[in-house]
């Protein structure tokens, strides 16, 4: 499968299929899930980052169970909103996960999603240990929500 921009991505998605938002970090992958109407993104899970084959198998279980029709992957642009080494690594990973799962992928700018999520959790008084448990899936939900909002606009 290929990477798509959001307008093209929308045209190839099956009706009623959910979207899975992914925030691939160096140690963990945050996972979020949309509702069937593609309006609301919810945190779903955090996976330990492993070999592509293992992560693809873990995602395949979620994809089948939740009737997912497409993936939205965070694109970490640099401070000047350009593709740096981290963004290229994310694109390479997105290509690989698309091939492994057979699903189309759209990439969405994830600038500051994890940082913003951390700040909101700190302001809410969430402990450091609890933040470590949930920040990745919350960042994935923010990335997916950005995509859902852009697709509706």
Domain boundaries, the chain: 3-152
Residue 117 to residue 126: CA distance in whole angstroms: 11
| DSSP track, the chain | --EE-HHHHHHHSPTT-EEEEEEE-SSEEEEEEE-TTS--EEEEEEEE---HHHHHHHHHHHHHHHTEEEEEEEE---TTSS--HHHHHHHHHHHHHHHHHT--EEEEE-TTHHHHHHHHHHHTT--HHHHHHHHHHHHHHHHHHHHHHHHH-
pLDDT band, residue 24 (cuts 50/70/90): very high
* pTM of full prediction above 0.85: yes
Exposure of 55 in the CB half-sphere (CA atoms within 13 A): 24
Tell me what percent of the residues of the chain surpass a pLDDT of 70. Answer: 94
Residue 83 to residue 63: CA distance in whole angstroms: 29
**CATH superfamily of this structure's domain 3-152:** YqgF/RNase H-like domain (3.30.420.140)
Mean pLDDT across 76-101: 87
Tell me what percent of the residues of the chain surpass a pLDDT of 90. Answer: 65
Mean pLDDT across 24-40: 95
Answer yes or no: are the C-beta atoms of 76 and 87 closer than 8 Å.
Answer: yes
Region label for 106, one of left (φ > 0), alpha (ψ between -120 and 50) or beta (otherwise): beta
Residue 108 to residue 124: CA distance in whole angstroms: 26
Q: At 15, give phi and psi (nearest 5°).
A: -60, 135
Average pLDDT, the chain: 90
């Amino acid at each position: 499968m290929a990477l798509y921009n959001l307008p093209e991505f929308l045209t190839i998605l099956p009706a009623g299929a959910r979207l899975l938002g992914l925030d691939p970090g160096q140690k963990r992958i945050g996972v979020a899930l949309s509702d069937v109407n593609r309006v609301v993104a919810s945190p779903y899970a955090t996976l330990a980052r492993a070999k592509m084959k293992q992560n693809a198998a873990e995602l395949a279980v979620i994809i089948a169970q939740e009737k997912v029709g497409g993936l939205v992957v965070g694109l970490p642009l640099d401070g000047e909103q350009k593709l740096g080494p981290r963004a290229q690594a994310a694109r390479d990973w997105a290509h690989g996960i698309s091939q492994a799962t057979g699903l189309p992928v759209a990439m969405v700018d994830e600038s500051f999603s994890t940082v913003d999520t951390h700040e909101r959790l700190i302001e809410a008084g969430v402990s450091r240990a609890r933040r470590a448990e949930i920040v990745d899936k919350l960042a994935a939900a923010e990335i997916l929500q950005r995509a859902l909002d852009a697709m509706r606009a």
